[in-house]
Amino acid sequence: MADRQVTQQNIIGLLGKLDDPDADLRYMSLNDLYGILSNPQSTFISSDHRSAQGLAEGLLKALDDQHGDVQNQALKCLGPLAIRLPFEILTILLEKLTNMTASQTIDTSVPNTALRTIVDTLPRPQAGQPAPQNVVTAYSAVSKILIPRLTGPTQSASGRRGSVVRGMLEKDPSKGFSSEAIDVLIKVVTCFGPLLQESELATLQEPVMAIIHNDTAGTVVTKRALTAISALVLYFSDNQLNSFVARLIEALSSSKISTVHRRHLIAAIGTIARSAPAKFGPHLNSLAPFVFAAAGEDGIVN
């Protein structure tokens, strides 16, 4: 108990230093916090809401620091903190980070990186094994907050009637699509794919395919979307996969399809065939004619 009280006091003192005007002192405070969070003796935080909330708020503030080294150290702390947070505070942290990704004034790569760090650190399901309670709890937080914010739009935290927040995967009028948001989705799928519900897979599929169908999406964001759809397909049910292939065929059969659009869809077929050959293989006979028809004599898609 004495050790716990000492650690609690140390945490309070270090969090107070995050407001210090000296960037070096803020950095060192975060370095010391990382040491505390990485120590097995800090597991009490999961049942100490006051310490957990203070740490979450302190790291959120540090993520908005003007000094990159301070930001990076805060990101480093998020991993060991995430696995110590009670469910309620974990969901609050995820919600605030997703809200930061919609900011027009900060570098949104920071909150997106923070989200990936947290998801990657949380306990995840293991193949062929039932999910233990800590994994179910982690998935529940991701399912409740992160997946709806990825697909959006969601009700604004301001609570004003009709006020909504754009989904992280939706196109921003000034910035376009976010490849960083797609990377968050990929991390969610690779870590929690076996637990994703069919409805969640469907809602995640829609904005990803909207990017692939979009002629104006940039090369980088399209490549990330292709990676995302190949990750999602791994967890599709047979009915979902059949529906997905039917929609691909419908799009490729359209007389109005553009060259860029066709190229994106054929790239999707190739990416999925490589990532999930056993699952996707039975559908290749239906899709191959579209690939061959679009290929020139030199084998390059027109």
Over pLDDT 90: what percentage of the chain?
81
**170-187 pLDDT tens trace:** 998 888 999 999 999 999
Q: Domain 1-85 is in which class?
A: mainly alpha
Average pLDDT over residues 122-151: 95
Place of tokens 């691909």: 248
Residue 152 near residue 203 (C-beta atoms within 8 A): no
Name the band, by pLDDT with cuts 50, 70 and 90, for residue 248.
very high
Average pLDDT over residues 84-111: 91
Q: What is the pLDDT of residue 294?
A: 73
For 176, phi and psi rounded to 5 degrees?
Answer: 80, -160
H/E element, 302: none
Q: What is the pLDDT of residue 156?
A: 55
Residue by residue, DSSP assigns 193-236 as: GGG--HHHHHHHHHHHHHHHT-TTS-HHHHHHHHHHHHHHHTT-
- The structural domains of the chain, with segments of one domain joined by +, span 1-85
Q: What is the pLDDT of residue 298?
A: 42
What's the pTM value of the predicted model, to 2 decimals? Answer: 0.91
Q: How far apart are the first and last CA of the chain?
A: 70
pLDDT for 29 beyond 80 = yes
Alpha carbon of 165 to those of 136, 175, 293: distances in Å?
27, 15, 42
**42-66 pLDDT tens trace:** 899 999 999 999 999 999 999 999 9
Neighbouring-strand partners of residue 154: 165
291 against 226, higher pLDDT? 226
